[in-house]
């Protein structure tokens, strides 16, 4: 066996790595304590967060499409029964949309914790940028980071939660988000109704002309054929013209009703969502999970210490470490002698690894 093969076998030995870990125990412990201390500092300087929550259910839009569905049925056109555009998933995406968040970020709020001072949200969250558009974009992203949303498609309930270090600001933002949803929904519904009204207006003009033409044909027939009961051909022609007039009258009636419905919806400003949980002023801060964060810091620090100990040991010669079983047992015996001795632990933490 060559010297190279011997060195490789040395490093694959359990005794080598066991000796490295035992001799680097203080380095691992120090890093673990450092991680725990950093986690404690994060908790110390992190302000408590107050969350304001709300929930709502999207209102069904089937009533809005009743007139159009009736008209479509008369014309032989199938209209889908459901409206996926207003599903809970749609509203969750709307809550996280840049359009809505920009509307809220550009607003000002009254901060009760600052003696009722009205402050712009961009200034309150210290969003800085020389360009106003980029600053507003950053403010919208910050709002998205403090806004949590969820949607339950089985119940149709959409939930939102806003957490800041000011209870009054959390309440104001949650309320502004709900109002923004109302406003966007209103404009969207009114825009759809306006487009529908414009389409129906065009159809009304055409149907009125067709009805006038059909009535003119029937009138001309009656003038030229005062007695047509005895003629099967004239009776059939009369019935056909009469059916044409009746059909156009029904279409005109349906279009007129749909036109009036569209005009009403075009100016309607009633809410299209039902609020189940109104945003309220939070009285207690959110749980900070101190123990969990502390344990995570200790584990992360210990992992870093383990990597450092293994890296440091890999730079040393296996012979120096005592890669034999006797070397490992010696390091283990040294570790056992320190267990239960606070003085030994203190000396080990202060002097470090040897």
Each residue's pLDDT tens digit, 135-183: 999 999 999 999 999 998 888 899 999 999 899 999 999 999 999 998 8
* Fold category of 50-277 in CATH: Bacterial polysaccharide co-polymerase-like (3.30.1890)
Among 22-36, 207-221, 265-279, the range scoring the smallest mean pLDDT is 22-36
Each residue's pLDDT tens digit, 96-132: 999 999 999 999 999 988 888 999 999 998 898 888 8
CA–CA distance, 176 with 279 (Å, rounded to integer): 10
| Cα 179 off chain centre by | 17
Each residue's pLDDT tens digit, 46-89: 678 899 999 999 875 544 445 545 555 554 544 444 444 478 88
Domain boundaries, the chain: 10-46+318-351, 50-277
In the prediction, which pLDDT does 228 show? 74
Each residue's pLDDT tens digit, 292-316: 666 777 777 777 777 776 666 544 5
CA–CA distance, 115 with 126 (Å, rounded to integer): 19
Q: What is the DSSP string of 19-36?
A: HHHHHTHHHHHHHHHHHH
Structure tokens at 67: 């007139």
| Cα 185 off chain centre by | 17
CA–CA distance, 119 with 129 (Å, rounded to integer): 17
CA–CA distance, 52 with 35 (Å, rounded to integer): 32
């Amino acid at each position: 066996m060559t010297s190279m093969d011997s060195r490789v076998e040395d490093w694959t030995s359990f005794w080598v790595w066991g000796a490295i870990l035992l001799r680097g125990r203080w380095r691992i412990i120090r890093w673990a304590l450092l991680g725990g201390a950093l986690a404690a500092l994060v908790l110390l300087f992190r302000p408590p967060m107050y969350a304001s929550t709300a929930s709502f259910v999207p209102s069904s839009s089937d009533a809005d499409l009743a007139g159009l569905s009736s008209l479509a049925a008369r014309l032989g056109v199938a209209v889908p029964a459901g409206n996926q555009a207003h599903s809970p998933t749609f509203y969750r995406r709307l809550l996280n949309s840049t359009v809505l968040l920009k509307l809220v970020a550009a607003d000002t709020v009254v901060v009760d914790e600052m003696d009722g001072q009205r402050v712009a949200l961009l200034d309150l969250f210290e969003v800085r940028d020389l360009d106003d558009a980029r600053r507003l974009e950053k403010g919208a992203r910050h709002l998205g980071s403090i806004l949590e949303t969820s949607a339950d498609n089985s119940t149709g309930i959409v939930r939102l939660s806003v957490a800041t270090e000011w209870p009054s600001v959390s309440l104001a933002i949650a309320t502004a988000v709900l109002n923004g949803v109302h406003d966007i929904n209103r404009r969207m519904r009114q825009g759809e109704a306006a487009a529908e009204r414009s389409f129906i207006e065009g159809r009304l003009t055409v149907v009125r002309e067709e009805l006038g033409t059909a009535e003119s044909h029937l009138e001309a027939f009656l003038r030229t054929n005062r007695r047509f009961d005895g003629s099967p051909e004239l009776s059939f022609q009369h019935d056909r013209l009469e059916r044409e007039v009746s059909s156009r009258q029904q279409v005109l009636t349906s279009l007129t009703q749909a036109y009036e419905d569209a005009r009403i919806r075009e100016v309607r400003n009633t809410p299209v969502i039902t609020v189940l949980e109104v945003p309220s002023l939070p009285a207690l801060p959110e749980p900070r999970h101190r123990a969990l964060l502390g344990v995570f810091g200790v584990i992360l620090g210990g992992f870093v210490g383990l990597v450092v100990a293994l890296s440091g040991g890999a730079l040393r010669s296996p012979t120096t470490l005592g890669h034999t079983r006797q070397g490992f047992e010696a390091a283990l015996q040294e570790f056992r002698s320190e267990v239960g001795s606070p003085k030994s632990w203190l000396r080990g933490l202060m002097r470090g690894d040897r």
